[in-house]
C-alpha cells in the first residue's frame, strides 16, 4: 500500500464453485461504490500472463481497465514478476496453504510478506483505477481468504455463499461448458469439503462475516443484499429492487469467473429448483447422501 493510504475494503466471497458467486459479484458491481472484478486470484496468471479475456471481450493485457491496473500494480511493487506471484499463490492458496498460514500468523516469513505486498498492491491498484470504495473478490478459495486476513492494507469482509448441493451437482453436470461432467456424488464431496473449510475460515477470520444461502438471496434479495450492504457500509436497496423487477445487470471488467461473465448483461433468474429436472433420481440421492450432514445444518431438506 501507499504511505497514508487507507485500507482497501475487500468483500471476499468464499464457498464452493457453481454456487452463484459470479452472478453475486456482477450484481454487487452495479452499485456505484463497488468494483466487481471476479476471481482476483486469476488476474495475474490467467489474465496478464496467459492473456485470457476480460468480460469486456478483450484480452486482459489489452483491456483498458486491466492494463491501467497492471501499470499501477507494477509501479507499486517495483517489478512485473508474474511467475513469482503464481508460485506464491500456489504455496499459500492451496489446501496445504492453510497449515502454512497458521504456522506463519504469529511470525510471517519473508516469503509471505512478499505475497502480502503483491496482493495488497493489486487491491490498491484496483481501487486507485476504479475509484470505488469496495472491491469484490469472488475467488471462493478458503485458503486465500485466510491469507488475505493477514495482508496489511486490506480490510477484509467475508461472505460465505452456499447453495443446495443438488443445485451445484446439476450445474456441474452441464455439458456446454467444455468441462467434463462431474458425478453427483463427487460434486457433493467437493461441496462438503469446500463449505466446511469456508465455514471454519469465516469463523476464525471474520466472526461477524456473513453466511448467505443462494436460495435466500433468490427468495428475498432485499434482506440478503441488505445484510451484505450493512457489512461494508453501503445501501444496496437499489440493487435489490432491480433484481425484484427483473432488471438486467451490467457486467463490468470481471477478470475471472464462469462463462456468464462474458454475457455483457446478466439477469438474476433465481432458479433454485432446476436440479429436480436436471438430475435423475439416483443422482439426487447420491448428491444428498454425500452432503446430508452439512445440508441439514444449513436448513436444506430432502
Q: What is the DSSP string of the chain?
A: --TTPPPEEEEEEES-TTSSHHHHHHHHTTSTTEEE---GGGIIIIIIIT-PBPTTSSBTTT-HHHHHHHHHHHHHHSS--HHHHHHHHHHHSSTTHHHHHHHHSSS--HHHHHHHHHHHHHHHHHHHHH--SEEEEEEE-HHHHHHHTT-TTEEEEEEEEE--HHHHHHHHH-STTSSPPPPHHHHHHHHHHHHHHHHHHHHHH-TT-EEEEHHHHHH-HHHHHHHHHHHHT---HHHHHHHHTT--EE-----SS-GGGGGSEE------STHHHHS-HHHHHHHHHTTHHHHHHTT---
Q: CA nearest 158: which of 221, 210, 101, 213?
A: 210
The answer to whether the predicted template modeling score (pTM) of the entire model surpasses 0.75 is: yes
d(CA 216, CA 260): 21
In a domain, 217, yes or no: yes
CB atoms within 10 A of CB 144: 24
The alpha carbon of residue 219 and the mean position of all alpha carbons in its chain are separated, in whole angstroms, by: 21
In a domain, 222, yes or no: yes
In a domain, 1, yes or no: no
- pLDDT tens, per residue, the chain with 302 residues: 677 899 999 999 999 999 999 999 999 999 999 999 999 999 999 999 999 999 999 999 999 999 999 999 999 999 999 999 999 999 999 988 999 999 998 899 999 999 999 999 999 999 999 999 999 999 999 999 999 999 999 999 999 999 999 999 999 997 555 567 899 999 999 999 999 999 999 999 999 999 999 999 999 999 999 999 999 999 999 999 999 999 999 999 999 888 889 988 999 988 899 999 999 999 999 999 999 999 999 999 99
Give the CATH number for residue 139: 3.40.50.300
- Strands 249-250 and 265-266, sheet pairing: antiparallel
In a domain, 3, yes or no: no
In a domain, 2, yes or no: no
In a domain, 272, yes or no: yes
Q: Which three cell numbers stand for residue 99?
A: 497449515
Backbone angles phi, psi at 191, to 5 degrees: -60, -45
Q: Which three cell numbers stand for residue 201?
A: 475460515
Containing domain of residue 196, as a range?
A: 8-298
210-213, strands of its sheet edge to edge:
34-36, 134-140, 8-14, 154-162, 210-213
> Would you call 190 exposed, middle or buried from its count of C-beta atoms within 10 A (0-12, 13-18, 19+)?
buried
Q: What is the pLDDT of residue 259?
A: 87
In a domain, 196, yes or no: yes
CB-based contacts of 186, cutoff 8 Å, min separation 6: none
Which residues share a beta bridge with 12? 137, 158
In a domain, 254, yes or no: yes
Work out how many domains the chain is built from and give that number. 1
d(CA 249, CA 230): 21
Q: What is the pLDDT of residue 175?
A: 52
Amino acid at each position: 500500500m501507499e504511505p497514508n493510504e487507507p485500507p482497501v475494503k475487500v468483500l471476499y466471497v468464499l464457498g464452493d464453485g457453481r454456487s452463484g458467486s459470479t452472478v453475486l459479484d456482477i450484481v454487487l458491481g452495479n452499485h456505484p461504490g463497488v468494483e466487481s472484478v471476479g476471481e482476483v486470484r486469476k488476474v495475474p496468471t490467467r489474465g496478464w500472463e496467459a492473456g485470457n479475456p476480460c468480460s469486456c471481450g478483450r484480452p486482459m493485457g489489452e483491456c483498458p481497465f486491466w492494463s491501467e491496473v497492471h501499470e499501477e500494480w507494477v509501479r507499486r511493487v517495483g517489478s512485473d514478476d508474474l511467475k513469482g506471484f503464481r508460485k506464491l499463490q500456489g504455496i499459500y492458496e492451496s489446501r496445504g496453504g492453510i497449515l502454512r498460514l497458521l504456522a506463519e500468523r504469529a511470525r510471517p516469513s519473508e516469503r509471505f510478506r512478499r505475497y502480502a505486498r503483491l496482493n495488497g498492491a493489486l487491491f490498491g491498484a484496483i481501487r486507485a483505477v476504479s475509484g470505488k470504495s469496495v472491491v469484490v473478490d469472488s475467488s471462493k478459495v478458503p485458503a486465500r481468504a485466510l491469507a488475505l486476513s493477514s495482508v496489511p492494507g486490506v480490510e477484509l469482509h467475508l461472505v460465505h455463499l452456499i447453495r443446495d448441493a443438488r443445485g451445484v451437482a446439476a450445474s456441474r453436470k452441464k455439458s456446454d461448458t467444455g468441462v467434463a461432467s462431474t458425478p453427483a456424488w463427487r460434486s457433493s464431496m467437493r461441496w462438503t469439503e469446500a463449505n466446511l473449510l469456508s465455514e471454519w475460515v469465516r469463523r476464525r477470520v471474520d466472526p461477524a462475516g456473513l453466511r448467505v444461502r443462494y436460495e435466500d438471496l433468490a427468495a428475498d434479495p432485499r434482506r440478503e443484499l441488505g445484510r451484505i450492504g450493512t457489512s461494508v457500509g453501503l445501501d444496496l436497496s437499489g440493487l435489490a429492487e432491480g433484481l425484484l423487477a427483473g432488471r438486467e445487470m451490467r457486467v463490468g471488467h470481471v477478470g475471472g469467473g464462469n462463462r456468464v461473465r462474458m454475457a455483457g448483461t446478466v439477469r438474476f433468474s433465481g432458479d433454485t429448483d432446476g436440479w429436480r429436472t436436471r438430475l435423475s433420481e439416483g443422482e439426487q440421492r447420491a448428491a444428498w447422501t454425500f452432503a446430508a450432514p452439512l445440508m441439514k445444518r444449513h436448513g436444506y431438506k430432502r
